[in-house]
Every structure is written in structure tokens, then in C-alpha cells.
Amino acid sequence: MRVYLLYRLGLWLNALLPWALGVRVAAWGGAWHRRVCPADRAIVRSNLSVLLSEGIAENDPRIREVFRHFGWYLLEFFRGHRDDLHASISGYHHLLSAVRPRRGCIVLTGHVGNWELGAILLARAGWPISVVALSHTNPRVNGLFDDQRRRCGVGVIPFGPHAAAGCLRALQQGGVVGLAADRDYGTDGLPVQLAGHRWIVPRGPAVLSLRTGAPVLPTFFTRSSSGGFALSIEAPIWPPAGPWTDGEVMTLTQRYAQAIEGAVRRFPTQWLMFKPLGSVTP
């Protein structure tokens, strides 16, 4: 209940405060998260050390920046229904060329920048997009997130045993399916190399692509130092035609991981991953 009430308070402030003040309050919220969650703070420090190949001190300002970005992510997401969302877009032609009738495409991302706003921006551009979303432990908190996604025109496919069927249905209707693939929340993930470390990611994106023939487009929505946003859509990764093997699932999954690693290395303080890099178990 306490978590839900904190979110409700945040939503109330978000609706009340002007943007500039909201940004400051969100940054304060991120700083509060950093102070009260030493375990998350230690994980962020460890991950930055791995990504940047350098020792990161406990008081390194880049650690604080990660938590500020997390606060901004929440602020931006719950303002996503407003009309003032603008971003520069690169690689839009990749999306235009990838979708076919009765066979959509898979937009693959990680917890980098604001993945939720990336989906919202595509929905605003007229794309029928649905995202696979992990449910929050608190059903009332989960409702806040799913209601906001739907309010912004983004369909929700709950993570779980029926997610694959929902993804297949969306792709067969020529839609776009959004997947965050930098962490496996199931039990059958695959080990890949990420920043030189063994890391478990989901096999689902590769299996879905191979089963349907739908290409995977690595896509990332990030913030610039000036406060603007950028949506980057990379060239599609096409699955091989015909019967496929576990080896092809592994090969595709590693390619997806490399695309995510590229984004994470470009924007290390925007990677909102609170699980230690190098973990071998999901």
C-alpha cells in the first residue's frame, strides 16, 4: 500500500507542477531513491565500473545521474499523454520498410533512456504498437502503469504464459510488438556476452522472429544533454528463412545483445538496470 500511495502522490504532483519544477522534483525523487536503497546504489556502481572499464568511487556523480534519470523516466512516462512530446527521429525508414500486411515487426529495446516514451511516440505516429509488460507486485501500481500505456495508445500484453500468443496475434495483424530484452524475467533465458560479462537475456525475441519471419529492429529512446529526446531506429535484423535450430536462436540473441550493449555504452548513465551485470541466473 505504501508504494501505491507514493505513486499516487507522485501522479498528483506531476499533474499539478509545471514542467520545469516537475523535473526538479523528479530529480529529488531519484536522489531519495539513491539514499534509501544502498543495494541499488551498489549495483549501479558495479555496472558502471564494468561498462566504463574503470573504478567508480562511491561518490561518483555518474551514480547520482543514473538515479536522476530514473526519476525523470517516471515523470516523463506519466506525462506521456500530453501533447508536448517531441523527439528527433533517426532510422524511421527502417520501420517503414520492415512492416508488411499480416506480418508486423518487433521493436527491441532495453531499459535505456525512456523505453515507454519510445512506444508512445510510435503510437502517436499511427503505428499499432503493443508492448510486453512485466506486472508489478502490487496490482494497483500495475494498474497505474497499464492504464497510462493504454491512455497513450499503447496496447499491453502482460508478461506470462499467454504473452507469446498475444505477440503472435499482434504481428499477424501487421502490428508492432515492443520487447525490452536486456534482462530475462523467466526461467529459460540464454547466456550472452554483454560488456565482456556473462548475462542472461530472454530467448523470446529470437524465437518469435524465427516463428513469424518478423524482423527485429533495435530501437532506443534517449535524452540529450540539452533536455531534448531522440528516437533511434536501427537497421532490421532479419531471421533466416526455413526451419531453424537452437543455434540460430542463440546467434540472433547475441546480435540483439550487441545492439543493446551499443546503446548502453553510448548512454551508460541512462541504463536503468538494478541487477548486477555479470549475473548468470535470471
Q: What is the dihedral of CA 26, 29, 33, 34, to 10 degrees?
A: 80
Cβ atoms of residues 215 and 209 within 8 Å: yes
Q: What are phi and psi of 136, to 5 degrees?
A: -75, 155
With a pLDDT cut of 70, the percent of the chain lying above it is 98
pTM score, two decimals? 0.94
Which has more confidence, 282 or 262?
A: 262
212 lies in some domain: yes
249 lies in some domain: yes
57 lies in some domain: yes
What pLDDT does residue 279 have? 57
Q: Cα–Cα distance between 250 and 240 in angstroms, integer?
A: 13
58 lies in some domain: yes
- Is 4 exposed, middle or buried, given 0-12, 13-18 or 19+ CB atoms closer than 10 A? middle
Mean pLDDT of the region 34-53: 93
pLDDT digits (tens, 9 = 90+) for 261-270: 999 999 999 9
pLDDT digits (tens, 9 = 90+) for 238-262: 999 888 999 999 999 999 999 999 9
200 lies in some domain: yes
Segments forming the whole domain that contains residue 115: 2-270
Q: Mean pLDDT, the chain, as a whole number?
A: 93
- Is 84 exposed, middle or buried, given 0-12, 13-18 or 19+ CB atoms closer than 10 A? exposed
Which of 124, 179, 173 has its CA nearest to residue 156? 179
Mean pLDDT of the region 57-71: 96
Mean pLDDT of the region 93-121: 95
Cβ atoms of residues 198 and 276 within 8 Å: no
C-alpha cell at 39: 543495494
Mean pLDDT of the region 88-93: 96
60 lies in some domain: yes
Which has more confidence, 187 or 88?
A: 88
280 lies in some domain: no
Mean pLDDT of the region 200-213: 96
Beta-bridge mates of residue 60: none
C-alpha cell at 264: 548502453
Which of 222, 216, 213, 204 has its CA nearest to residue 258? 216
pLDDT over threshold 60, residue 280: no
The answer to which of 2-11, 33-42, 211-220, 256-265 has the lowest mean pLDDT is: 2-11
Long-range contacts of 222-226, Cβ-Cβ distance < 8 Å, separation of 24 or more:
222/112, 222/113, 222/114, 222/263, 222/266, 222/267, 222/270, 223/69, 223/72, 223/113, 223/114, 223/270
What pLDDT does residue 281 have? 47
Mean pLDDT of the region 181-209: 91
With a pLDDT cut of 90, the percent of the chain lying above it is 77
Which of 192, 159, 193 has its CA nearest to residue 178? 159
213 lies in some domain: yes
Count of the separate structural domains present in the chain:
1
First and final C-alpha spacing in the chain: 27
pLDDT digits (tens, 9 = 90+) for 3-18: 898 888 888 888 899 9
pLDDT over threshold 90, residue 2: no
